[in-house]
Chain A
Amino acid sequence: MEEKQKIFRDNIFKRLFWPLMALGLLLLFNLIFTKGFFHIEMRDGHFYGTLLDILNHGSKVMILAVGMTLVIATKGVDLSVGAVMAVAGAIAALLIVQVESGWIFVQGCTLGGLVPFLNAHHMSWFLPALAAIMISLVAGLWNALLVAGFRIQPIVATLVLMVAGRGIAQLITDGQIITFTNRGLTFIGNGHFLFLPFSVWIALGVFAIVAIAVRKTALGLFIESVGNNETASFYAGIEAKTIKGFTYVVCGLCAGVAGLIAASNIKCADSNNAGLYLELDAILAVVIGGTSLNGGRFFLAGSIVGAILIQTLTTTMYARDVSPHVAAVPKALVIIIVCLLQSETFRRKAMGILKTFKNK
């Protein structure tokens, strides 16, 4: 029994080996060449520094990657998460402005009246945040309907919302960039809690909740089974449709949370740029983390490592003053190398070539 669990752990470690290795090397590079990269200081009881910035900025992709992992495990993909982030941010910004201007009657709608030592003002962020999450839930249900219900190819199905989503966000904000100053809402993406940026705690929370939900129940097994062989899973009595739909809903919810953080970061809702291209980063993080686009086995922890690796790369580019126009190139290089190293075929071939060189 214990031996078997050891095998299990070995497997996880093997999966995480190459991404962790790449991350380690990248950090080593920065330790030697980038001044101040590892500098951490304590201000007002919180830590600050480049490393924490990486975690803070990376939290959005981490959260997206968690949801995306489940979707990809079912052999699907969700291209709409970036757009859903924009919609969620827009809703939150719109409502918070209305709430603060008193246009919406706050007391009745929030928990402010129920919790004795909080007043309506403290809880004013609650309704907008909840609405943002709700709208992302709807987005997830929509994708689930198209993919699981109508059996539309995931790429095509989620492309609908990827394109339409930003339009919807524009409609919500009436084409404006809505700025806000609400303390609660800005805290989500800028505040600190227990030494760390609050968004990092949110990312950890999302990861923990999803990981427990799929690994402590049989959901994870069903997802892997459906992703690996949908027909056979159906024959085994698994409701393949429901399982698939579920992953899109979770993915949508994750996008909503990430959208809130994104809006909070810059204290405004920018329909055009919020979450732009983040769906690609999320997919990359998942793949780097060892989950195959062919579906089947998935690795949530791997995806988190992947997200951190991507953000570290981005931050390294900034720190080294690489112009954003060319920054994509080294980033792509590192990612290709990690993906190649994960392929056993490639490793074997590479070893073969190395050996023949040695012999000569």
Chain B
Amino acid sequence: MGKTVELLEAKGIVKTFPGVKALSGVDFSVSAGEVHALMGENGAGKSTLVKIITGVYRKDAGEIIFNGKSISPGSTLEAEQCGISTVYQEVNLVPELSVAENICLGRQPKKLGFISWGGVRKRAVEALKRLELDIDVSKNLSYYSIAIQQLIAIARALDIDSKLLILDEPTSSLDEKEVAELFKMLKKLRGQGLGIVFITHFLDQVYQISDRITILRDGGKVGTFEAARLPRLEMVGRMIGKDPEQVKSMEKKREIRKVAGKEFLKAEGIGRKGMLFPMALEIREGEIIGLAGLLGSGRSETARMLFGVDPSDSGKLSIGGADTDISSPKKAVKNGIAMTAEDRKVTGIISDLTIRENIVLALQARAGAFRTYTLKEQYALADKFIKALGIKTPDADQLIKNLSGGNQQKALLARWLAMEPRLFMLDEPTRGIDVGAKAEIEKVMDELCEKGMALLFISSEMEEVSRNCDRVMVLRDRRKIGEISGEDISLQAIMKMIAE
């Protein structure tokens, strides 16, 4: 980085929310032609900093200099006009509009003052092609999975003619191939002199692409480092405020466990027309099962079927030996089955309710409307999980939408852990959760598995699957193609089965 000209310079940024000091005098600078990673624990203030730079929030104090001029954008549109283009952590496009409209929103190509719909389509198709994505742009955004939506949001950001590109956890739902495609694109843009800010909790990705790393902790800046001179352990240590030795001792490996629990769920020939081919399935108490497969192989669909969101239309299923019919999430919950789905914003958080209400929701739904938990019980429960999972909040009465992304995810896990499920299905559960919290959560899960809870685990990081699971079910093209268990589980074995 020979250049010293900074493209963006934020100085002494302060932002306070009721009860939370989100940023306390943070300096942050990005130069042209670099990828700058912004790192920190959940709730460290990364997204808040981004939102201040891009005009979503107003700063309480500080100054932002962009391209030599002091700016203070009042809206995202203003920031875009200055030349700052952003992908936010929560995809903030319009679900009811078409993909094409979403990509060109606010910048529609015009002919004689009227929107040229042909132009809109063409531009959208081109923007998506840059990410090697070939989809029907006239379909509504909500038609597509969260991963595709994320790619669309990125395509939109890349399409804006900008000097600074900010990506807040853009890869949280993407699989390896898509990430590689994105990185290729980013490297090209970096070559063209764009400044790029990149936020993620995937440490590997940080080292793959970034030139410099800035670490935030509790709303303050820890420091800015050359990526090449900051070893991984040291980075984690600085993020969570421990020294590298302590971090090392945290990263212990799970030993392979022998599970001989009782049978919990057994299914024969369950499937759903147009979604999943019939499959057989067995889940034992205390077992950790992984679902492996490529994007679109039917992993999430399997979980959704078992949870009764898209119930099976064939075969039979028994729980604890008794024939059961799981035709709705309510029935699943009654049978002690829990699930967190991939799309947190749509299927998870009830944004205008408090953390406490969000946490008691599933428990209360299972108990029914007339067996109410007293406020005291509710606070006890919420406080217990806020502590156990390290949810960063002043108290349980905050609205859940005011939590940082990773902390929202923790609150959702708490919702299900609270009802002590017998089978917990997790679809990309640790996405957006920081390294420290990941360890905490794994600990909580392990304890529950000891007590007999079965875990069904979906992750596009095959590495994670092969490392954590007692048994792996492999899916391809909406069909279960086999199982691997115990000592035989390895990344290679899974890959081989998928490829065969």
Query: A interface vs B, CB < 8 Å?
Result: 1, 4-5, 7, 216-219, 221-222, 224-225, 228-229, 231-239, 296-297
The smallest beta-carbon distance between A356 and chain B, in angstroms, is 16
Q: How far is the CB of B225 from chain A (nearest CB, A)?
A: 39
The A-contacting residues of B in range 347-377, CB under 8 angstroms, are 347-353, 357, 360-362, 364-370, 372-373, 375-376
Q: Does B379 contact A (CB under 8 A)?
A: yes
Q: Given the known A-B contacts A222-B369, A228-B353, A229-B349, are A235 and B376 also in contact in the complex, defined by CB atoms under 8 Å?
A: no
Cα-based distance from A229 to B107 in the complex (angstroms): 30
Q: Which residues of A contact B243 (CB under 8 A)?
A: none
Contact at A229–B362, with CB atoms within 8 Å? no
A237 to B360 CA separation, bound complex (whole angstroms): 12
Q: Nearest residue in A to B371 (C-beta to C-beta)?
A: A218
A148 to B417 CA separation, bound complex (whole angstroms): 30
Q: A218-B372, A228-B353, A238-B361 are in contact. Are A4 and B379 (CB under 8 A)?
A: yes
Whether A219 contacts B361 in the complex (CB less than 8 A), given A232-B347, A232-B349, comes out as no
Residue of A nearest to B365 (CB): A237
Q: Could you tell me how many residues of chain B have their Cβ less than 8 Å away from some Cβ of chain A?
A: 37
Contact A229 B351 (CB under 8 A): yes
What residues of chain B lie closer than 8 Å to A224, measured between beta carbons?
350, 352-353, 357
The contact string, 1 if C-beta is below 8 Å from chain A, for chain B 25-42, is 000000000000000000
Residues B371-400 near A (CB distance < 8 A): 372-373, 375-376, 379, 395, 397
CA distance A218 to B374 in the complex (A): 10
Pairs A-B, 8 closest by C-beta atoms:
A237-B333, A237-B365, A296-B352, A218-B369, A238-B365, A237-B330, A236-B361, A219-B369
Question: Hey, which chain B residues are within 8 Å of A237, CB to CB?
Answer: 329-330, 332-334, 362, 365-366
| Bound CA span A221–B366, Å | 13
Is B422 part of the binding interface, using a Cβ–Cβ cutoff of 8 Å? no
Measured between C-beta atoms, what is the minimum distance from B347 to chain A in Å?
5
Please tell me which one of the listed residues B346, B366, B373, B379 contacts residue A1 in the complex, with CB atoms under 8 A apart. B379
Q: Which of B330, B346, B357, B361 contacts A231 (CB 8 A)?
A: B346
In Å, the complex CA distance between A229 and B345 comes to 9
A to B CB contacts below 8 Å, 17 in the list: A1-B379, A4-B375, A4-B379, A4-B397, A218-B368, A218-B372, A222-B365, A228-B350, A231-B347, A233-B350, A233-B361, A235-B309, A235-B329, A236-B350, A236-B365, A238-B361, A297-B352
CB-nearest residue of chain A relative to B366? A237
Q: Does B7 contact A (CB under 8 A)?
A: no
B334: nearest chain-A partner, CB-CB: A237
Complex Cα gap A1–B379 (Å): 8
Smallest Cβ-Cβ distance to A220: which chain B residue: B369
Closest chain-A Cβ to B277's Cβ sits at a distance in Å of: 24
**Residue pair A228, B379 in contact (C-beta under 8 Å):** no
Q: Does B238 contact A (CB under 8 A)?
A: no
What distance in Å separates the Cβ of B341 from its nearest Cβ neighbour in chain A? 6
Q: CA of A232 to CA of B345 in the docked complex: distance in angstroms?
A: 8
> Which residues on the A side are within 8 Å of B415 (C-beta)?
236
Is there contact, CB below 8 Å, between A239 and B372?
no
* A-side contacts of B372, CB under 8 Å: 216-218
B351 touches A235 (CB 8 A): no
Chain A residues in 8 Å Cβ range of B199: none
Q: Is B339 an interface residue (CB 8 A)?
A: yes
> How long is the Cα–Cα vector from A216 to B369 in the complex, in angstroms?
9
Chain A residues within 8 Å of B347, by CB: 231-232, 235
Please give the distance in Å from A300's CB to the nearest CB on chain B: 17
Minimal beta-carbon separation of B315 from chain A (angstroms): 23
| Shortest CB distance A75–B (Å) | 12
User: Roughly how many angstroms separate A330 CA and B379 CA in the complex, as a whole number?
Assistant: 46
> Which residues of chain B are within 8 angstroms of A219 by Cβ–Cβ distance?
369
Report the minimum CB–CB distance from A231 to chain B (whole Å): 6
Q: Which residues of B contact A296 (CB under 8 A)?
A: 352-353
A178 to chain B, nearest CB (A): 40
A217→B365 contact, CB < 8 A: no
With A7-B397, A217-B372, A219-B369 known as contacts, the answer to whether A235 contacts B348 (CB < 8 A) is yes
